[in-house]
Amino acid sequence: MKKWWMLTICIVFIVAAVVPVRAAAASHPLFANVIVVFQQQVDEQAVKTLHGNVTKRFEVIPAVAATLPVTAVELLRRWPGVDYVQQDTTVAIDGQITDWGVEKVKAPVMHTHGVTGKGVKIAILDTGVDLKHPDLRVVGGACVLSYCPNSYQDDNGHGTHVAGIIAAKDNDIGTVGVAPNASIYAVKVLDRYGEGNVSDILSGIEWAMKHRVDIINLSLAAPEDAPALKAAIRKAYESGILVVAAAGNNGYANGTGDTVEYPAKYDSAIAVSAVNKENVRLPYSATGPAIEVAAPGEGVYSTVPVALDGDGRRDGYTHMSGTSMAAPFVTGVLALYKQQYPERTNIELRQMLRDRALDLGTPGRDPWYGYGLVRAVSNQPPELKVKLLSVKKGEVAFSVTLSGSAVKGYRVYRNGKQIETLQTAGTYTDYVVKGTYQYEFASIRNDGAESALTAPITVNVPDPYYKDVSASAWYMPEIAYLSSRGIVSGYNNGTIQPYNTITRAEVAVMLGRALHLDATKRATVFRDVASSDFASGYIQSAYERGLINGYPDGTFRPQQPITRAETAIILSRAYPLPGGSSMMFKDVTARVTGHEAIAKLAAARIAEGYPDGTFRPYQFVKRLEFFVFTARADNERFR
C-alpha cells in the first residue's frame, strides 16, 4: 500500500516533464505538444509551415507553445533560428506538513517583533487557492490553464495547503502561517488532478514577473530537465525574484544518489528537502548536491478547501507531508527577511537563508540537508545587546554592547534601511527630526556575516519639526544634529528653507552658536552692521576671533550670499583641519582665493566637488549645503 502511494505522488503529485498517465496509454500519437525556443526572434511562421498551431506565446523568453505533427518535430529542431524544441511535458504537485513547523523555523520570534511578511508579494504556482477560506487572504491571481471554469479557485487542495503554510492569518482560528501578513497571489498552473504542462508553468512565471512579485513558490517536481523552464526561472531570478522549489519525494530511504528533481535542481532555484520533528530527513525526501536548505515536511497542519477536506472533520484544515510542504516554509521565512531587510537583493537574502540555517547532518553543506534547517532567526547566541538610553530634541541615544571574539562591529538600521556600520561599542546616537522611527541592530562577524537583527525599538521623537524637511531627506540627520545643539532653529513660519542661498550674516550666527561665541548685540567694526542688527554680536565676535573679514570699503555686506570658497575659508579657520592637495579640483588653482582652505575641507571629507571634477568656488551656497558642511566640521560622524 505504501509503495502504491509513493508512486501516486511521483506521477500525479510532482512537477514538469512526466508524460500524463492518460496520454501514456496512447500507443502512436499523431500530434505532439512542444515548446519551441528561438535563438532571437520568435518565428511563428515556422510552426505554421510545418502544419502546426501556436497555442501560447511567451515574453520572458523567445518561445511559443505549439501543437504539430510528430513527424515535423525533427524538422522544426533543424529550422533556421530555432534554438531547441522540447516536449511540453506534464508537471504535477508534490506532497503534504504540520503547525509544529512554524515553531520549528522560529517564525513566532519574528512575529512578536512585528515582522510578519507585510508588504511582501508571493506568487504560489500551484492548483490555485481557496478564495473563501476564512484563514487566508488572497490578494489576486490568475489561471493560466486552457480551461479555467472557476478562475484560480483551488479544485485540488494542494495549493490551499501550501498557501496556509506561508500565510495563514493570525486570527485565533485554525493555524497561523510563517508570514501571516504577506500578500499571496494564487497562480493556477495545475488542474484538479494536480497536473499541468511546462508551458503552463512558464505562463505562471511570466505572470509573476509582470506583477513584480518578490518570491515564487513551486511545490512541484519532475524527473526530466526542461530547458525552457530553466531559462524562465533564471530570468525571474535575474530580475530580483527569489524562486523556492520542492526537491521532490523520490529519494531513497538510505539517502544515496542524486534524486533532486526539476525545477529545484536548477541553480536559480532554492531546492528544499524535508525533515521531521527530530530534524531527521524524511525517507523519501530527495537528496543531491542541489539541496540548499531543509524545512519541516512531515504531518504539517494547514488549510484546505472544506469541500476537499477528507480527514473526516470537514473543518478546512488537514495534515500533509512531503517536500511540497517544506518549500513554503522557506518561502515564508524569506518573506520575513524581505520585510525586515527591504533594501537587500534576492542574492543577499538567499545568502542570509544559508547563514542562519541550523547545520544538520555532515558539517557544512551536504546532500541531505544542504546548509541545514531553515531558521527565521539565527541559532547563534546573542552577540550584541542594545538598550534605549534617551530621546531628546533631534537626538536618540542607545547603549550598544558587543560580545564574543568573532564579532568585529555592528550595523544600525532605521526604518529598515541601513544607516551606519560601526566597530566600537558604547553609546550610539542618531539624529532625526520629529517622527516615529524603528531601530534595529545587527552584529558583524569577522568573516563579514551579519547576525539576525535585534528586536525593533520604536521611538517617537517630538521635535524639531520643519515643514520643508522630511524624514527621508538625505540631509535630515545633519539638520537634526544642528537643531539638537541649538545651532539652527528655522524661521517663524516653521520652515528652514533648505534650498535658499545662505547669507553672510546667517553664516556668522550659525558659526557663533556652534563655537559658543558672545551673541550680545553691540557695535561692530563694519559700517553696514548696526549694533541693533540681529547678528551684530556674532559678527563682531567672529571678527575678533579672526574667523571673518569685511571688504576694503569697510562693509560686511550681511545680506549678501556666501560663496563656496568663502565657506571653505571660514570653516578652515573655525575648525582645526589637516592640509590637503590644492590640485584636487580642475577649477581650483593657486590663483583661486581660498584654494588652501578648499583643499583642507576636501581632504577632511567636509566638502566635495561635482561629478565633472570641479569645485565651483564662486558658486553661492544653499542653506542645506552649509548645514551639511557645518555638521561635518563639528562632528566627524557625518563625514
Q: Which residues are catalytic?
A: 126, 158, 324
Place of cell 542618531: 430
Q: Is 507 exposed, middle or buried (0-12, 13-18, 19+ CB in 10 A)?
A: buried
Please choose, from the candidates 214, 221, 169, the residue with its C-alpha nearest in 3D space to the C-alpha of residue 13: 221
Grid cell 563579514 is found at: 448
Query: Which of these, 85, 72, 80, 86, lies nearest to 43 by C-alpha position?
Result: 80
422: which residues sit within 8 A by CB, 6+ positions away?
400, 409, 410, 411, 412, 428
131-143: b or e for each residue (b if 16 or more CB lie within 10 Å)? bebebbbbeebbb
Q: How many whole angstroms separate alpha carbon 9 and alpha carbon 2?
A: 11
Determine contact, residues 586/460, Cβ cutoff 8 Å.
no
d(CA 222, CA 372): 24
Closest of 503, 544, 540 to residue 521, by C-alpha: 540
Closest alpha carbon to 617 in 598, 639, 590, 631: 598
Residue 82 buriedness (CB in 10 A; 0-12 / 13-18 / 19+): middle
From residue 190, alpha-carbon distances to 64, 138, 203, 397, 587 in Å are 19, 18, 12, 54, 66
Say how many C-beta atoms besides its own lie within 10 A of residue 472's C-beta. Answer: 9
Rounded to whole angstroms, the Cα distance separating 389 from 114 reads 22
- How many residues would you count in the chain? 639
Q: Decide if 391 contacts 460 (C-beta within 8 A).
A: yes
For residue 406 the three cell numbers come to 568573532
Interstrand relation of 82-87 and 121-126 (parallel, antiparallel or unpaired): unpaired
Q: How far apart are CA 263 and CA 602, in angstroms?
A: 53
Cα separation, 326 vs 293, in Å, equals 10
Longest CA–CA span in the chain (Å) reads 109
How many Å apart are CA 115 and CA 456, to the nearest integer? 9
Cell of 607: 566638502
Give SS3 for 91. Answer: strand
